[in-house]
Amino acid sequence: MSKIGVFVCHCGTNIANTVDVERAVASARELPGVAFASEYKYMCSEPGQQMIKDAIEEYGLDRVVIASCSPRMHETTFRKMLKDTKVNPYMLEIANIREQCSWVHTDKAKATEKAIRLIRMSVAKAARDEPLFASSIPIEKRALVIGGGIAGIQAALDIADAGHEVALLEREPSIGGKMAMLDKTFPTLDCSACISTPKMVDAGAHPNIKLLTSCEVVKTEGYIGNFQVTIRRNARYVNHDICTGCGLCETKCPVKTDSEFNHGLSKRPAIYKLFPQAVPSKPVIDKNSCLKLTKGKCGVCEKVCPLGCIDYADEDREFTETFGAIVFATGYELIDWTALYGEYGGGRYPDMLTGLQFERLVNASGPTEGHIVRPSDGKEPKTVAIVKCVGSRDPKKGKSYCSRACCMYAAKHAHQILDKLPGTRVFIFYIDVRTPGKGYEEFYDQTRKDGAIYVRGRISKIYKDGDKLVCNGEDTLLGKQVKVMADMVVLETAMTPSSGIEELATMFGVARDVNDWIQEAHPKLRPVETQVGGVFLAGTCQGPRDIPDTVAHASAAAAKVVSLLNKSEMETSPMISVVRREHCCGCGACEKICPYTAITLEEIDDRVGAKRVKRPIASVNSGLCQGCGACTAACRTGAIDLLGFRNAQILEEVDALCL
């Protein structure tokens, strides 16, 4: 049997007033496996701890049961204490006879009986305790930030400034993200490019930041501290090592294709920079429109390039790097309203713009150099309808959630129209106006004072009549139908997670919520962490938010990353799941239930009679397992068990209560 020491704490009078400690000690002495039992006024005090240590030495104890306050209080204290003794820190059980006994009961006889039972349960469990050893995993002091928008840039800069290497990955040829497209930012109306491009440049030039543009994650293995991420760099066909970004090639390229950056409001060549202030400021070739690459003809850029940077033979290239931490900053995109809102014309009318298209239109560096004109005929609109909540707060057609930033940028758009084209009539159709932010309500007020007309109600139909866009709807405040004959309509559409988020989340084992936003580890207390250790969240990949919130979120994520990377290794709890290979049949029930993708099926060599075979069994990744034990209840055989809370231990507790 074991040699268990039982130590019952008086906790001053907290326990001793209600529990007859002496009787509890006497009964503990009779329990199977108990070699020593004793009491003390304050077990957690220095002399109390010393008493336990002395008893371990004197009686050769191999495990310890302390009957005291809640383990949530002092389990760590006592584990730490055991580190100096021969007893393994995990050969410790705590019987909670204060919070769950002396404090909640009054009848001393009955409370004493209950304390005796609780101690009996802990002793029975302790008899099945086994030595466990916390392992430490080394931490690769590098972070990977996925997504080069403002969130990714901010997180990368913060981590890099703290002295850690960062790889900033962006699938587009330039970092900058959505913020680079914006004209002005609410509520201060400072120029978006003026505040975001310096950050882009900082990121591009930071000695600790490596930009991985035109790159995508294709595979990942490992866990916190040690992710092996395989990245594909899509072919650029331009050797960025030599290219100076002179731009000659772009001017000579004969191809004109829709500009993504301007959302189709303008054309760009096949060899192009995403936008003039792109970082890196070097062009790439779009293989889908380049004549040389599609038809084998042309080759103009190669001819004009003074440095011979053009390399039509360039290929996608994969490489694997190790990172200690990952930041998701994958951002958002706008919902494809054309597929959902046939009643708005489904995208047939060129003078209906999304918010982002309008941003490009109104942007001084945009296709019209900031002139607000109709894309169809280049005329200035006299009446503009701005429709909010297109795809947001519309569970039937779009998303049930509020996209949070639209109320403010709708106000901003109205303001910009009224500012640039005084006298224009601007109607804003809304469900609610939500302005929770510093200076937001004031900005909204100002917009209304500027002349924007707010109409409460959804637009039910938009159709073309001559060169007017007729917007039918209801003013729900007045309770009557309204019809606006607009020259231009701006749809403030819902934010949705970036395309590709599903694959990426699955790769890292990160959970998504019902709307595919990445699920944070805890909605209140762990808003920048995921339930996968070492994977953090920055910005709108977690849910819609505006720029200040995104930047704050990104800095918070960076702080988490930095505190992780500042450690050289991380101690992992040894209370994790273990598999008995001879019993495991590889059915995979545990694999599906594990919230951390800590369990995978692994082929092992086995023998069936004389035959050597391979068979799958569950295998637990100790770096990922968080010790929740969900797998154990799913395993019919009991082949998977949780150290520290083994089936046998819990059953022993049950049995001990029943004695």
Partner 1 sequence: MVEIDHGCKCPGNPLLPQICKVIKITEETPDVKTFRIQTLDGKKPFTPLPGQLAMISVLNVGEAMFSLTAQGDDWIESSIKRVGFLTEALHNLFEGDLVGVRGPYGNHFPTEELKGRDILFVGGGIGLAPVRSFIRHAIAHRKDYGELDVLYGSRSYGDLVFKEDIFDHWPKACNTHITIDIEEDGWDGHVGFVPSYLEEKAFSPEGKAVVLCGPPIMITFCLISLAKMGFSKENVITTLEMRMKCGVGKCGRCNIGSKYVCLDGPVFTMAELEDLPDEQ
Partner 2 sequence: MNDNLAKMREAAKRALESGDVGYVIGWGATKFPDKTSPLFMRKPEDAERLVWNEYAIPGIAKYLLDDLYPDKPIGVFVRGCDSRAINRMMKDNRIKRENLRLLGIPCDGKDDERCTICRNRNPLVYDELLWDEAPTPEPKDRYFRANAVEAMSADGRYAYWSEVFDQCIRCYACRNICPACNCKECYVDMTATGFQGKQHSRSDNLIFGVTRAFHVGDRCIECGECERVCPMGLPIMGQTQKILKDINELVGDYESGVDAESENYLGVFDLDDKDEFM
Partner 3 sequence: MSVKETNDPKIIAFCCNWCTYTGADLAGLNRSHYPENVHIVRVPCSGRVNPQFILRAFRNGCDGVMVCGCHPGDCHYSTGNYFTRRRFTLMKRLLEYNGIDPGRFHARWISGSEAGKFRDTAEEVTAMVRKLGPNTRYREYARREMSADE
Task: Tell whether residue 308 is a contact of partner 1 (CB under 8 A).
Answer: no
d(CA 386, CA 357): 13
- 547-565 and 150-161 helices, crossing angle to 10°: 30
Q: How far is the CB of 224 from partner 3 (least distance, A)?
A: 16
Are 132 and 574 contacting, i.e. CB atoms less than 8 angstroms apart?
yes
d(CA 4, CA 34): 4
Choosing from 38, 100, 368, 622, the residue that interacts with partner 3 (CB under 8 A) is 100
d(CA 98, CA 115): 9
Tokens describing residue 265? 């409001």
Choosing from 10, 63, 74, 98, the residue that interacts with partner 3 (CB under 8 A) is 98
DSSP, collapsed to helix, strand or coil, labels residue 442 as: helix
Strand 135-138 with 92-96, pairing: unpaired
**2 versus 647: smaller Cβ distance to partner 3:** 647
Q: How far is the CB of 93 from partner 1 (least distance, A)?
A: 16
Q: How far is the CB of 128 from partner 1 (least distance, A)?
A: 10
d(CA 622, CA 573): 9
Task: Tell whether residue 248 is a contact of partner 2 (CB under 8 A).
Answer: no
Task: Tell whether residue 642 is a contact of partner 3 (CB under 8 A).
Answer: yes
Q: How far is the CB of 129 from partner 1 (least distance, A)?
A: 11
**510 versus 570: smaller Cβ distance to partner 2:** 510
Burial class (CB in 10 A: 0-12, 13-18, 19+), 602: middle
Are 314 and 236 contacting, i.e. CB atoms less than 8 angstroms apart?
yes
Q: Which does residue 588 touch among partner 1, partner 2, partner 3, none (CB within 5 to 8 A, set by kind)?
A: partner 2
Q: How far is the CB of 124 from partner 1 (least distance, A)?
A: 11
Which one, of 60, 118, 56, lies nearest residue 93 by Cα? 118
Task: Tell whether residue 107 is a contact of partner 3 (CB under 8 A).
Answer: yes
Q: How far is the CB of 613 from partner 2 (least distance, A)?
A: 4
Choosing from 639, 640, 643, 656, the residue that interacts with partner 2 (CB under 8 A) is 639
d(CA 108, CA 98): 13
β partners of residue 217? 231
Q: Which does residue 3 touch among partner 3, partner 1, partner 2, none (CB within 5 to 8 A, set by kind)?
A: partner 1
Choosing from 593, 622, 627, 645, the residue that interacts with partner 2 (CB under 8 A) is 593
β partners of residue 5? 36, 64
Q: Which does residue 32 touch among partner 3, partner 1, partner 2, none (CB within 5 to 8 A, set by kind)?
A: partner 1
Task: Tell whether residue 117 is a contact of partner 3 (CB under 8 A).
Answer: yes
Sequence length of the chain is 659
Contacts of 255 (CB under 8 A, 6+ apart): 269, 270, 289, 290, 291
Which one, of 81, 85, 9, lies nearest residue 43 by Cα? 9
Are 430 and 455 contacting, i.e. CB atoms less than 8 angstroms apart?
yes
Q: Which does residue 70 touch among partner 2, partner 3, partner 1, none (CB within 5 to 8 A, set by kind)?
A: partner 3
Q: Extract the runs of DSSP E, i.e. beta strands, from 527-598.
A: 535-537, 569-572, 577-579
Q: Extract the runs of DSSP E, i.e. beta strands, from 431-575.
A: 453-456, 459-465, 468-475, 480-486, 488-493, 495-497, 535-537, 569-572
Are 178 and 332 contacting, i.e. CB atoms less than 8 angstroms apart?
yes
**34 versus 92: smaller Cβ distance to partner 1:** 34
Task: Tell whether residue 2 is a contact of partner 1 (CB under 8 A).
Answer: yes
Print the binding letters for residues 47-86 with partner 3: x by CB under 8 A, - otherwise: -----------------------xxx--------------
Task: Tell whether residue 3 is a contact of partner 1 (CB under 8 A).
Answer: yes
Q: Which does residue 166 touch among partner 2, partner 3, partner 1, none (CB within 5 to 8 A, set by kind)?
A: none
d(CA 77, CA 342): 64
Other CB atoms within 10 Å distance of the CB of residue 47: 10
**130 versus 502: smaller Cβ distance to partner 1:** 130
**300 versus 579: smaller Cβ distance to partner 1:** 579
Task: Tell whether residue 578 is a contact of partner 2 (CB under 8 A).
Answer: no
Print the binding letters for residues 27-66 with partner 1: x by CB under 8 A, - otherwise: -----x--x------------------------x------
CA angle 357, 361, 365 (to 5 degrees): 120
Choosing from 584, 620, 640, 656, the residue that interacts with partner 2 (CB under 8 A) is 584
d(CA 274, CA 377): 26
Name the residues that contact partner 1, by CB under 8 A: 1-3, 32, 35, 60
The site for partner 2 (CB under 8 A) is made up of 514, 582-589, 592-593, 601, 608, 611, 613, 615-616, 634, 636-639, 647-648, 651
Which residues sit at the interface with partner 3, rule CB under 8 A?
70-72, 96, 98-101, 103-107, 110-111, 113-114, 117-118, 121, 511, 519, 521-522, 531, 575, 593, 595-596, 626-630, 632-634, 642, 645, 647, 650-651, 653-655, 657-659
